[in-house]
Homo-oligomer: A and B are copies of this chain.
Amino acid sequence: MVRAGKKNINTHIIKIDGFFKVAISVDCAIFGFDERELKVLLIKSDQPQFKGKWSLLGDLVSPEEDLDKAAYRVLKERTGLENVYLEQVHTFGSVRRHPTGRVVTTAYYSLVNIEQCRLTTLENELHWHSVTEMRPLAFDHRLIFDTCFKSLQNKIVDHPVGFNLLPKKFSLRELQHVYEAILGKSLDRRNFRKKILSMEILQDLNEIEDNVPHRPGKLYKFNGNTKTEMF
């Protein structure tokens, strides 16, 4: 696989005809769910201008690499996961959005199961941040994050994508907590169950929860394909 990640960005932004060339990157808002909270995976920026600030995970796109593939590569490299839910959101192309040169970036968001992640830290620090406690991010990543988060909120209203944040087996309570964390509001339990079950997207596993300090709930799995629609 083509790896653009190890190259310095300046080898991709080359002065020709008197001006800098354009580089392409992808940036991913990788969402996870833990402790009833929606989280996003961030990395400590290595740019001197943004010392100590966090940024989304991204990388330059190699000239021989499909754009979508680059986003999958970033996910694979950082979380170890393949076949994850990935959605393209928007492309940010202001001339001065990146301090080092012209970088047009395409934003994606991904929904992953935090427990399955095997984070690859490399030289920088990775951390799952609660989306309700976001501090200022490096570059224009706050704008990119907000765009991704809104896109996810719109998506989940009528597309069943919440499972991707959960283990294969889950209870309706856990699924409801996912929806509540994404939408930022509490939902009526009976109406939620009614709506989800009427969609006929869940398969009853005839198993119940274990090790819960209350009456255990039924376990379900998604009866379809949890991959992205993109392929």
Contacts and interface: CB of A to CB of B under 8 A. Distances in A.
A66 B19 CA distance: 15
Copies of this chain, whole number: 2
Contacts of A66: 93-95
A104 interface: yes
A161 interface: no
A16 B67 CA distance: 19
Contacts of A68: 93
Interface in A41-87: 61, 63-68, 70
Interface of A: 11, 14, 16-17, 19-24, 61, 63-68, 70, 88, 90-95, 102, 104, 106
21 contacts: A14-B16, A19-B64, A21-B21, A22-B23, A22-B24, A22-B61, A24-B24, A24-B104, A61-B93, A61-B104, A63-B102, A64-B102, A65-B95, A66-B93, A66-B94, A66-B95, A67-B91, A67-B92, A67-B93, A88-B91, A104-B104
